[in-house]
Structure 1
Amino acid sequence: MSSDPLSLTLSALADPTRRAILARLSLGETSVTELAEPFAMSLPAVSKHLKVLERAGLITRGREAQWRPCRLDPGPLREVSEWLEHYSRFWDQSLGRLEKVLREIQAAPAEDIEP
């Protein structure tokens, strides 16, 4: 597995359970037990998902007595967003060119269009 930050983040985001965990953490910090409640899996399985998210830098885990709060760290998500923005501009430009061609075709008299 690649260890560059973008690859780690994208790999972590590839799993729907981890995305659901991040969605929950976007509401505020919570414990592993509370994070595990909506999932039909064991606490150790949820902990494995949390380790993946932590390795990707998407969450941090603290320690307050017996409570281990998890917190969202949105930094890596910003990096993904910036990476995707390049492709968003590409598609916007490509679709803009396509729109221009379609308008030219629509504006052309019917006899100018080849069958």
Structure 2
Amino acid sequence: MSEKKPIRTMLCIAVQQNFFDLPFDQTGPVWTATKQFLATVHKMPGVTVLGTFDDDETMVGTSPTGFPWTCYLLGDFPDREAVVAACNLFRTIEVGDQGHRLWRYMRIEARMGRPLPTPEL
């Protein structure tokens, strides 16, 4: 039996208008929840985070419905179920003490594929 190959996955994250509607002094809990999301993905069994990318300095305001997104996480996941579990964190991570979840303020989409072979130079 051949060893199961990891699934190269790009988690695409967009900040929603609800975040921008918050008073500035109330945005901290969203960042705390975002850090919890990132830390949890980093600790998931079999997941290797290859890198992150945040373009919040040059993209101000909400993300459109599709590309470009606000930030990205690229990683190798052991299987589709692990990717689903990472996305599901937006449904389960609480933001502050009002009973809201992370998905109120951000949305996530996973793009799964395989590494593009690098040609020998």
Pick the TM interval, shorter chain.
Answer: under 0.3
TM-score, normalising length: structure 1: 0.28
Q: Which has the larger radius of gyration?
A: 1
Identify, as 1 or 2, the structure richer in strand: 2
TM-score, normalising length: structure 2: 0.27
Identify, as 1 or 2, the structure richer in helix: 1
Q: Which has the higher contact order (CA 8 A, sep 6+)?
A: 2
